Structure 1
Amino acid sequence: MSTATVQEVEDAAAALVAAFAEGRLDDYFGAFAPDARFVFHTTSRRLGSTAEYRNLWQRWVDEDGFRIRACTSSAPVVQLFGDTAVFSHDVETTVATHAGEETVHERETIVLVRAADGRWSAVHEHLSARTTA
């Protein structure tokens, strides 16, 4: 496989973030490999698959009325390692639940791999709280 360009990775990450921000859940979850892993500071344990994450998301919707109102990505950094890339950025997300709206500030790292067909797939996501200081 050929070496990736930073622009390809940025485009794949931007598509993933846009799908998240716009509530296009099939596109969002479709950006992840089925066996992707997820580490979120808001959950008590690591999630072992995209299906497990999607089930958790649906529980948030059903129990809390969870929905994304807005999401802004800033300060992106891409590191290339052949057909693997690490994308990290700062994220500001406004979410709504039955309790109201809240804007959270986080840092996110997404590991992507390039398939033989050239498509980028996210295989790991790590989300952590970001201080505003």
Structure 2
Amino acid sequence: MDQDQTAVAGAADRLVAAFGRHDTDAYFAAFAPDATFIFHNHPEVLANRAAYRALWQDWESSLGFRVLDCKSSARDIKVYGDTAIFTHRVETRAMFGGEAVTSHERETIVFRRDGGQWLAVHEHLSALPGA
């Protein structure tokens, strides 16, 4: 793994760890303000970090949403200059309506080098086939 791939892996590790402990401030800080989001379980593209954070807060208040744990596997990183594509499988345990639910998904996160750090600028989450 070269230096850029190592740096992207570190950024991805911090993002996944913050998500897994439901640390919303650290999690959303891993995304650029203009980041976009596509989720298989949400009908609309979220045009920026603020839109996703508002949806997250709605899930918390209306569904009792809380992330309990997140595991990342089958990771791959491709770096193209100041852009990197990180793909992985995620297993997430979360609370919804007082019930713990486990989901198995695959995810692509696009990172951009920004002032010496790697920030996520796009996330695409899809259901893992057969899960």
TM-score strictly above 0.5? yes
- In structure 2, the gaps of 5 or more residues are none
CA distance in 2, matches of 1:132, 1:19: 27
The equivalent of 1:45 in structure 2 is: 44
Following TM superposition, by how much is the alpha carbon of 1:83 offset from its aligned partner in structure 2, in angstroms? 1.0
Does 1:56 find its partner at 2:55? yes
Instruction: For residues 4-37 of structure 1, give each alpha carbon's deviation from its aligned partner in whole angstroms, at most 9, with x where no partner exists.
Output: 5211110000000000001111110011010100
Identity among equivalent pairs (%): 49
Runs of 4+ in 1 over 3 A off after TM superposition: none
CA distance in 2, matches of 1:8, 1:132: 32
Query: What TM-score results when the alignment is normalised by the length of structure 2?
Result: 0.95
The equivalent of 2:110 in structure 1 is: 111
CA distance in 2, matches of 1:5, 1:53: 27
Instruction: For residues 97-121 of structure 1, give each alpha carbon's deviation from its aligned partner in whole angstroms, at most 9, with x where no partner exists.
Output: 2151110000000000001x31111
The equivalent of 1:125 in structure 2 is: 123
* CA RMSD across the alignment: 1.4
CA distance in 1, matches of 2:109, 2:28: 13
